[in-house]
Chain A
Amino acid sequence: MKNGSLFFLGLFAALGLAWVGIVVSSNAQIGSLAGYYDDTDSTSYPARPSGLAAQGALVYKDLGCASCHTQQVRRPGFGSDQDRGWGERQSVARDYIYQTSVQLGESRIGQDLTNLAGRKPSAPDQDDLLHMLYQGQGAMPSYQFLFETHKIQGEASSEALKLTGKQKPQSGFEIIPTTRAKELVAYLLSLNTTYDYPEAHPVAGAKGEGEK
């Protein structure tokens, strides 16, 4: 290797080819996916997140929730994602088109949250999630900085957490979720991928593993 300009050209081509081959081509392919309009219920899927949920997505991102939680369900044969009730079908690209900052995640110290609000038979509700955030559970730390302890003035707040045992605040005080906590929970409750897209159907006769 003595020819400097040829060497540079090689470097540039190496990077450029990979970029075109992976990034540009996949962008051309799925970069402008539209929602799927279902004629039978006259609705387009996925649903756009509400304003509060969009705010909550920012809280999710800034606390780094994605370092423990994934948001992608794999098809049967890849782990037990669906057997654990995390979703009834595999996640597809269309699920994410309206998320401003996609949080696929790379680690499952915590559970997968793709379809948290659509889980069957019972999905957690706002109360469950607020309690889990306040108390922590298993490998999940408590996020008490998302809550405030107030002195009860007059009537107790309807938003106050109903806690028992050691975590119960001293009498005369109550624990109220902050706006951030409420946004985060609204976001978590917007995670719902129950709608079945045609491309998410597993193909018959191909349930086995990919490897030879």
Chain B
Amino acid sequence: MSNSSHNDSRFERAANDDAQVLDSHEKALGPQKDDAGNYNLRPLLMLFLLSTFVLFAATYVNRYSGHYSASIYNETALPHTGAEVVVKADPVAAGKKLFNSPGACYSCHQPNGQGIAGVYPPLAGSEWVTGSEERVVRILLHGLKGQVTVSGTSYAGAAAMPAFGTAGYNWTDEKIANVLTYIRQEWGNKGAVITADAVARIRSQAGDRKEWSSTELLQIK
């Protein structure tokens, strides 16, 4: 700086005044000398740079926006691209919730599926549970009354199994299918999955009726 020699750090002299700042910068934006050797590439380069940023931005947002869906929290996921298969609920988990919901199955058959000796038969290891789906669905839909033999032990029928079908708690086909699938696969049981369609079929076949007895059920294969 040319005048730095008289520049006191306590009052730093400016090198120009306001009008000169305005003048010189107005000129800098005006038409420039366009001599052959004086061509300025920088303005063009800056525009090019900005376009690069914009291009990057557009590509990134296009790829990682999850198509602006409200329910996509993972930016690498896209709605409607194979993701639909995953959203299906797990029948065992849903069934477990139903089994343990207030006043439902667990209150008699116990959370561990062992029942109460002499009164409520166990579900764990029970041939009624893991066996024919025709029978177990009917038990749930309409209930069970009277004597029954489970795993070789006879239960006199002091308590009745209530109906969860239309005549009783009125559970949907899906709820019944879920809770049955759960008890057929929990506590070491290895029964096949029961679908809501199967429940719907049996419901329409059997119609409305009162509780089954075990002898009636054993006639159904």
Closest CB in chain A relative to B22 CB, distance in Å: 12
Roughly how many angstroms separate A25 CA and B98 CA in the complex, as a whole number? 39
Judged by a CB distance under 8 angstroms, whether B220 is at the interface is no
A29 touches B83 (CB 8 A): no
Given contacts A29-B70, A199-B71, A200-B73, contact A205 B82 (CB under 8 A): yes
Interface footprint category on B: 20 to 34
**Of B74, B97, B172, which is in contact with the most chain A CB atoms at under 10 Å from its CB?**
B74
B178 touches A203 (CB 8 A): no
A40 touches B64 (CB 8 A): no
Roughly how many angstroms separate A40 CA and B176 CA in the complex, as a whole number? 10
Task: Please name all residues of chain B whose beta carbon is closer than 8 Å to the beta carbon of A92 when the two chains form the complex.
Answer: 73
A71-122 CB contacts (< 8 Å) to partner B = 75, 90, 92-93
Closest CB in chain B relative to A113 CB, distance in Å: 20
Roughly how many angstroms separate A206 CA and B63 CA in the complex, as a whole number? 13
Roughly how many angstroms separate A71 CA and B178 CA in the complex, as a whole number? 34
A159-207 CB contacts (< 8 Å) to partner B = 198-206
Roughly how many angstroms separate A41 CA and B95 CA in the complex, as a whole number? 10
Interface string of A11-44 (1 = CB under 8 A from B): 0000000000000000001100000000111100
B83 touches A210 (CB 8 A): no
* A interface: dominant SS: loop
**Of B71, B83, B94, which is in contact with the most chain A CB atoms at under 10 Å from its CB?**
B71
A203 touches B101 (CB 8 A): no
Task: Please name all residues of chain B whose beta carbon is closer than 8 Å to the beta carbon of A90 when the two chains form the complex.
Answer: 73
Closest CB in chain A relative to B85 CB, distance in Å: 7
Judged by a CB distance under 8 angstroms, whether A208 is at the interface is yes
Interface footprint category on A: 20 to 34
B56-90 CB contacts (< 8 Å) to partner A = 64, 68, 70-77, 82-83, 85-87
Task: Please name all residues of chain A whose beta carbon is closer than 8 Å to the beta carbon of B83 when the two chains form the complex.
Answer: 203-204
Judged by a CB distance under 8 angstroms, whether B135 is at the interface is no
Task: Please name all residues of chain A whose beta carbon is closer than 8 Å to the beta carbon of B82 when the two chains form the complex.
Answer: 204-205
Roughly how many angstroms separate A39 CA and B178 CA in the complex, as a whole number? 12
**B83: nearest residue on chain A (CB-CB)?**
A203
Task: Please name all residues of chain A whose beta carbon is closer than 8 Å to the beta carbon of B86 when the two chains form the complex.
Answer: 201, 203-204
Task: Please name all residues of chain B whose beta carbon is closer than 8 Å to the beta carbon of A41 when the two chains form the complex.
Answer: 97-98, 101
Judged by a CB distance under 8 angstroms, whether B175 is at the interface is yes
B87 touches A198 (CB 8 A): yes
Closest CB in chain B relative to A197 CB, distance in Å: 9
Task: Please name all residues of chain B whose beta carbon is closer than 8 Å to the beta carbon of A201 when the two chains form the complex.
Answer: 86-87
Roughly how many angstroms separate A41 CA and B70 CA in the complex, as a whole number? 25
Roughly how many angstroms separate A94 CA and B139 CA in the complex, as a whole number? 39
Task: Please name all residues of chain A whose beta carbon is closer than 8 Å to the beta carbon of B172 when the two chains form the complex.
Answer: 39
Task: Please name all residues of chain B whose beta carbon is closer than 8 Å to the beta carbon of A42 when the two chains form the complex.
Answer: 101
Closest CB in chain B relative to A152 CB, distance in Å: 42
Q: Closest 10 CB pairs between A and B?
A: A199-B71, A203-B77, A206-B76, A29-B70, A204-B86, A206-B77, A203-B83, A210-B75, A40-B94, A41-B101
Q: Which residues of B contact A (CB under 8 A)?
A: 64, 68, 70-77, 82-83, 85-87, 94, 97-98, 101, 172, 175, 178
A-B contact pairs, 17 of them (CB 8 A): A29-B68, A30-B70, A39-B172, A40-B94, A40-B98, A40-B175, A40-B178, A42-B101, A75-B74, A198-B71, A199-B73, A200-B73, A204-B82, A204-B83, A204-B85, A204-B86, A206-B74
